[in-house]
Chain A
Amino acid sequence: MEAKNILRELARGRMITNITVAAIILALLTIGIGSLYSETLSYYRETLSTFMMLFSVVLGLNIILGYTGYVSFGHAVFFGIGGYTAMVLMYYYGVNVYLAMIIAALAAMAAAQAIGFIVLRLRGAYFAIATIAVLEAFRVIVSNVEYLGGSEGLQLEASYYTGYSIAGYRGQMSVHYIAYFLLLGTVTLGLLLNLYVSRSQFGAGLRAIREDEDAAEAIGINTWKFKTLAYVLSSITPALAGAIIAWKRNIVLPEEFFSLTLSIESIISVMLGGAGTVLGTVTGTAIYHTVKTIFLTSFPSLHLIIFGITIAFIAEVLPMGIIGWLRLMSTRLRFLLE
């Protein structure tokens, strides 16, 4: 294949991804606006909010796990840091959710820089275990700090919400709607970050690190700087989602915000769709979330079984994930599926 044909196929692939991403965002936006005026759509608003919460963590995780190859097993730590930072600001200082989100994201980025300074020295399974340890450490510490509400968490008063309104809904009535759009904004940012990583020189460097870190150094890549930046970027959307969910649920609890379950769910979603692909993040999260929702409603006590089944399925049949597997089918698909 000639160089210019390769570039043409790549450009075509990028166009397909752009259209898919735009379609997803538009669809979510339409449903969100629709739910403001139609009662029947409010069920979808809630299930899609849960989907977008998971998707926000997945989009962050994909940068460090998918592109850089570092299995951040406790990635919900940034969800927790975001949630708690926002809650402290809202609870003690009455800060509005928008500013709280921004500060939460900055706090998570600073935390990622600091945590990364230690854990990014480790590779492979040791890194994964260290990130679980970090998550657990945060959970235990937060449970024991009175300022952060200890194991009871912090809860916002109903009066806190009086200032919020959207399309005629006021106060607490407006929260679920506003949260939906904030989550959509977070997901949009996450998709843009993933597209940037996928197409930039920075992302090419991350892939090289994933494939072989020593060889990546040998071709002139500052692997320490690259992976630290990847880790910092990967903390943004989980933190934003954490802040939004804290505000939406009006409470933060250590087990729910520093949650190993959420960490594992996001790993499953990334792996199922295809780590290190943009389309895979959507595919994996959508499938996982749908299956989980069906199980939760039909067999509530058994739904955790799908964890095990999905992990076994991925490991045995689709180690590259759905999109990753399709990309292996032919050279053409490799170029077309980003």
Chain B
Amino acid sequence: MSVVLRVENVYKSFGGVKALEGVSMTVNEGMILGLIGPNGAGKTTLFNVITGYYKPDKGRVELFGRDVTGWPTHKIAQLGVARTFQIPKPFPDLTVFENVLVSIKFSSRKLSEQEAAEEAKRILEFLGLDSHAHMLASQLNVALEKRLELARALARQPRLLLLDEVLAGLNPSEVAYMLEKIKRAKQEFGLTIVMIEHVMHAVMNIADRIVVLHLGKKLAEGTPEEIARDPRVIEAYLGDPKLALAFVERLSSKKR
């Protein structure tokens, strides 16, 4: 199995704030890697380093076996990397259809206008956005905005998809819908996915492997089961592990 993404010993600081301190990870082809950690752990910073928005102070980023450290964002995108943004960044005064169409136009595929329009329709249908196709993106609600983010990323037909909290702010049925779509997209397009997520049950359910970041360092890595039982992870999220465990037990006993 080939390595899609390799991050090696990456450092990044902003003034006195050390956002990333020696983070390394490897993502193999076809896997879904969940990236979790408390707020301010450096997850989005890591995405921004991978996609070229930030140049790391130290360390290297490899995509599809090529050293892309310091490459500009658009060149990294052209390699077949697509991302969504934590705070959705749709093209507000373009319609939903136009948002997806422009993304298709700048993907590596060479399509005629007709083919591009049909492809846009197909992706909108896949994400249940076809009835909103000619609305302005600025008129969408949060749930639809998140779907549009995903649609615009998928429109690039990427090999590596980076999802930054696509489930945040969604209600349970919307979370289930998105998870289903992400799974199907992965199968249909043969995607490799890295997802930052705070909705724990979702990421535990969908990810093959999980990396936990805490204060800019990698705290733990493993399968969802291993991570769920790791006391260091529980501590990072909830503080004192003994207290946290007691808290979790009380919660689960109440449920029963």
Binding site for B on A (CB under 8 A): 1-4, 6-7, 201, 204-205, 207-208, 211-212, 214-215, 217-224, 328, 331, 334
B105 touches A204 (CB 8 A): yes
Q: How far is the CA of A1 from the CA of B53 in the complex (A)?
A: 37
Q: Which of B92, B106, B121, B152 has the most CB of A within 10 A?
A: B106
B138 vs chain A, min Cβ distance (A): 10
Q: In the complex, which of the residues A1, A205, A217 has the most CB atoms of chain B within 10 Å of its own CB atom?
A: A217
CB distance from A207 to the nearest CB of B (A): 7
Interface centre among B85, B93, B95 (most CB of A within 10 A): B93
Contact in complex: B117, A7 (CB < 8 Å)? yes
Q: Contacts A201-B105, A204-B102; is A219 near B152 (CB within 8 Å)?
A: yes
> Does B192 lie at the interface of the complex (its beta carbon under 8 Å from any beta carbon of A)?
no
For the complex formed, measure the closest distance between the CB of B121 and the CB atoms of chain A, giving whole angstroms.
Answer: 5
**Binary contact readout B80-112 vs A (1 if CB under 8 angstroms, 0 otherwise):** 001101000111111101000111011110000
Known: A1-B133, A6-B117. A219 touches B106 (CB 8 A): yes
Minimum C-beta distance from A307 to chain B (A): 26
- With CB as the reference atom, state the residue of chain A lying closest to B97: A6
- Does more than half of chain A's interface fall in helix, strand or loop, or is it mixed? helix
| Interface of chain B residues 96 through 140 with chain A (CB within 8 A) | 97, 101-103, 105-108, 113-114, 117-118, 120-121, 133-134, 136
Residues of A within 8 A of B13 (CB): none
B252 to chain A, nearest CB (A): 40
Residues of B within 8 A of A214 (CB): 53, 85, 89
**Which of B73, B106, B114 meets A3, CB within 8 Å?**
B114
| A218 touching B91 in the complex, CB below 8 Å, given contacts A1-B133, A3-B120 | no
Report the minimal beta-carbon distance from B186 to chain A, rounded to whole angstroms: 20
A211 touches B91 (CB 8 A): yes
Q: Mark B25-38, 1 if CB is under 8 A from A, else 0.
A: 00000000000000
Give the Cβ gap from B238 to chain A, nearest Cβ, in Å.
33
B contacts, CB < 8 Å to A: 51, 53, 72-75, 77-78, 82-83, 85, 89-95, 97, 101-103, 105-108, 113-114, 117-118, 120-121, 133-134, 136, 152, 156
Are the CB atoms of B92 and A1 closer together than 8 Å? Answer: no
Most buried by B among A204, A215, A334: A215
In angstroms, Cα B51 to Cα A211, docked, is 20
Question: Could you tell me if A2 and B121 are in contact, using CB atoms closer than 8 angstroms?
Answer: yes
**Chain B residues whose C-beta falls within 8 Å of the C-beta of A208 in the assembled complex:** 91, 94, 102, 106
Best-surrounded residue of A204, A208, A220, A331 (most CB of chain B within 10 A): A220
A328's closest neighbor in chain B, by CB? B136
Q: List 20 additional A-B contacts (Cβ < 8 Å) besides A215-B91, A334-B95.
A: A204-B102, A204-B106, A208-B106, A211-B91, A211-B93, A212-B90, A212-B91, A212-B92, A214-B85, A214-B89, A217-B53, A218-B51, A219-B156, A220-B77, A220-B78, A221-B74, A221-B106, A223-B74, A331-B134, A334-B134
| Contacts A2-B121, A3-B117, A3-B120; A222 near B102 (Cβ below 8 A) | no
Task: Check A215–B90 contact: CB distance below 8 A.
Answer: yes
Shortest Cβ-Cβ A-B pairs, 7 listed: A211-B91, A3-B117, A220-B77, A217-B73, A215-B89, A331-B134, A3-B118
Shortest CB-to-CB span from A331 to chain B, Å, is 4
A219 to B118, Cβ gap below 8 A? no
User: What are 11 contact pairs spanning A and B, CB under 8 A?
Assistant: A4-B114, A4-B117, A204-B105, A208-B106, A211-B90, A211-B91, A212-B90, A217-B77, A218-B77, A218-B85, A328-B136
A205: B residues at CB distance < 8 A: 102, 106
Residue numbers in B under 8 Å from A220 (CB-CB) = 74, 77-78, 106-108, 156
Point out the residues of chain B lying under 8 angstroms from A4, CB to CB.
114, 117
How many Å lie between the Cα of A7 and that of B117 in the bound state? 8
B131 → chain A closest CB, angstroms: 11
In the assembled complex, the CB of B76 is this many whole angstroms from the nearest CB of chain A, namely 9
CA distance A221 to B51 in the complex (A): 13
Contact at B118–A207, with CB atoms within 8 Å? no
CA distance A219 to B133 in the complex (A): 19
B102-A207 in contact (CB<8A): yes
Chain B residues, CB < 8 A from A201: 105-106
Inter-chain CA distance A218–B161, complex, in Å, is 11
Q: Are A222 and B89 interface neighbours, CB within 8 A?
A: no
A222 contacts across to B, CB distance below 8 A: 72, 74-75
Known A220-B74, A222-B72; contact A3-B92, beta-carbon cutoff 8 A:
no
Complex alpha-carbon distance, A314 and B148, angstroms:
31
Select from chain B the residue with minimum beta-carbon distance to A209.
Answer: B91
Bound CA span A221–B103, Å: 9
Bound together, the chains give a CA A215 to CA B75 distance in angstroms of 14
Point out the residues of chain A lying under 8 angstroms from B94, CB to CB: 207-208, 211
**Which A residues touch B156, using CB under 8 A?**
219-220
User: What residues of chain B lie closer than 8 Å to A218, measured between beta carbons?
Assistant: 51, 73, 77, 82-83, 85, 89
Identity of the chain A residue whose Cβ is nearest the Cβ of B95 in the assembled complex: A334
Which residue of A201, A214, A218 has the most chain B CB atoms within 10 A of its CB atom?
Answer: A218
Nearest CB to that of A320 among chain B residues? B93
Q: How far is the CA of A74 from the CA of B240 in the complex (A)?
A: 60
**CB closest residue in chain A, given B113:** A7
Q: How far is B125's CA from A1's CA once the two chains are assembled, in angstroms?
A: 12
Q: In whole angstroms, what is the CA distance A281 to B108 when docked?
A: 33
